[in-house]
């Protein structure tokens, strides 16, 4: 399944984040031994434990809701945080990255779904924040793009519209705030059930769990 998906993604130059949450280290190692290096987790404690036990050249992506008081546990090694949903959280990542003498790459999570359960910025708040001096002073983070999660629904048209909105916001922000930067390039959208559509709508990075590892007992 891994090779099949990778071949499909390669045609579109899309990066695969293999979402290994709730799965044992043996399952990650198995995929590592097939050559894959990019894994995503959504719980800090689980990520820290796995990172400690698994090969050091794995690129760990954090994809879940991140509490400010837990940033310090992952700042020294995390490769990309997909789920920045407030200015306060971004400032904390900057602070902890500085302590580790790193620049940490992040994505801003945009709320595109209807469900109230999903986290994320609305686009006006993002725009306001990107214009502030507060933002410009954050020298230990780099905003490399956006992430979004579509509504969990069988209504394909709704999902497609949400992806279109995310892509449009990405293009707007790139033009307005990042035109002089070469790193604002990532659009993290698409999961097991909707990644093909996400790629059609401009995704550069998909987060796939159950299709690779089998169904989870809980989410």
Ligand X SMILES: *Cc1c(COP(=O)(O)O)cnc(C)c1O
| CA torsion, ordered 88, 45, 147, 150, to nearest 10 deg | -120
Residue range at the interface with ligand X (CB under 6 A); choices 66-74, 90-98, 164-172, 188-196 = 188-196
Q: What is the nearest approach in angstroms of ligand X to the Cβ of residue 166?
A: 14
Write out the H or E segment, with its range, that includes residue 5.
helix 2-11
Q: Does 191 bind ligand X (CB under 6 A)?
A: yes
In angstroms, the CA 101 to CA 89 distance is: 18
Q: Where are the beta strands (DSSP E) in 53-182?
A: 59-62, 80-84, 104-110, 141-148
Among 16, 18, 21, 97, binds ligand X (CB under 6 A): 21
Residue span 114-153 as binding mask against ligand X, x where in contact by CB under 6 A, dash where not: -----------------------------------x----
174: which 2 tokens? Answer: 């790139």
Q: What is the nearest approach in angstroms of ligand X to the Cβ of residue 134?
A: 27
Which residues would be at the binding site for ligand X (CB under 6 A)? 19, 21, 42, 63-64, 149, 191-193, 207-211
């Amino acid at each position: 399944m891994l090779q099949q998906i990778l071949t499909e993604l390669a045609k579109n130059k899309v990066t695969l984040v293999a979402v290994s949450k709730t799965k044992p280290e043996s399952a990650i190692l198995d995929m590592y031994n097939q050559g894959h290096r990019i894994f995503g987790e959504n719980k800090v404690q689980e990520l820290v434990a796995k990172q400690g036990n698994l090969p050091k050249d794995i690129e760990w992506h954090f994809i879940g809701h991140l509490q400010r008081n837990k940033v310090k546990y992952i700042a020294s090694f995390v490769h990309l945080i997909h789920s920045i949903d407030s200015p306060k959280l971004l400032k904390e990542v900057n602070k902890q990255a500085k302590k580790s003498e790193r620049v940490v790459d992040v994505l801003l999570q945009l709320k595109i779904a209807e469900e109230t359960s999903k986290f994320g910025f609305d686009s006006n708040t993002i725009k306001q924040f990107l214009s502030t001096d507060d933002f410009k002073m954050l020298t230990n983070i780099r905003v490399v793009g956006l992430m979004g999660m579509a509504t969990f629904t069988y209504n394909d048209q709704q999902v497609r519209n949400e992806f279109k909105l995310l892509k449009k916001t990405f293009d707007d922000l790139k033009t307005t705030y990042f035109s002089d930067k070469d790193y604002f390039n990532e659009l993290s959208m698409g999961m097991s059930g909707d990644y093909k559509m996400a790629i059609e709508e401009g995704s550069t990075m998909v987060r796939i769990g159950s299709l690779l590892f089998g169904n989870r007992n809980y989410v």
